Chains A and B, each alone.
Chain A
Amino acid sequence: AQSVTQLGSHVSVSEGALVLLRCNYSSSVPPYLFWYVQYPNQGLQLLLKYTSAATLVKGINGFEAEFKKSETSFHLTKPSAHMSDAAEYFCAVSAPVTGNQFYFGTGTSLTVIP
């Protein structure tokens, strides 16, 4: 079975500070991992994905994530937060053995303080 756990349902950072959103996964097979962002009243937009190539993945809007198998983690980071980064962030896992379904974490709401 595949699942992801996001630690911290709410994270607040000051503008310009480091953003760190945590995601740990559980998978019986090598996973594919994703980070999505959801702005208010909108659908989900892909930030980045890990598909067993490079362990450090760069995405849009200055975000990146590192796949660490030993820690079963895929944390999302951004060196300097912008006001526009305030949104809901979801980590997700998929695997062909589950019909390619995507399983999402419970989400982390990011607040950026001016």
Chain B
Amino acid sequence: DTAVSQTPKYLVTQMGNDKSIKCEQNLGHDTMYWYKQDSKKFLKIMFSYNNKELIINETVPNRFSPKSPDKAHLNLHINSLELGDSAVYFCASSLTGGGTEAFFGQGTRLTVV
């Protein structure tokens, strides 16, 4: 049973397209996250979200938007894809509260051509 699952694992698309990455967690967590890992392996927080609050990293372009149909899902929509969006995107989840760790999905490798 996968705790945090993302689909698709690989995504190749052309510039200008709109795409979505889906994420689901079955851990009963109340906070979910999206991270971007660039080619140098640097992990950057993009969003954190629970049923009360969306926290957006101010450096994330507004072409990126998280959408949460329920507590167990947090999808990432990307409009007008650019070459620089190519990266690995990780979904994660945790319980809200101090000291709880985040559980990560396997990642989605997005390649924009």
Chain B interface category by residue count: 20 to 34
**Interface stretch among B13-21, B64-72, B74-82, B94-102?**
B94-102
Tell me, yes or no, whether A44 is within 8 Å of chain B by CB.
yes
> Chain B 19-44, CB within 8 Å of chain A: the 1/0 string?
00000000000010101000011110
Contact, CB under 8 Å: B101 / A34: yes
Contact, CB under 8 Å: B48 / A32: no
Residues 68-110 of A at the B interface (beta carbon under 8 Å): 88, 90, 94-96, 99-104, 106-107, 109
| Residues of B in contact with A (beta carbons under 8 Å apart) | 4, 31, 33, 35, 40-43, 45, 48, 53, 55, 90, 92, 94, 96-107
| Residues of A in contact with B (beta carbons under 8 Å apart) | 32, 34, 36, 38, 41-46, 49, 51-52, 88, 90, 94-96, 99-104, 106-107, 109
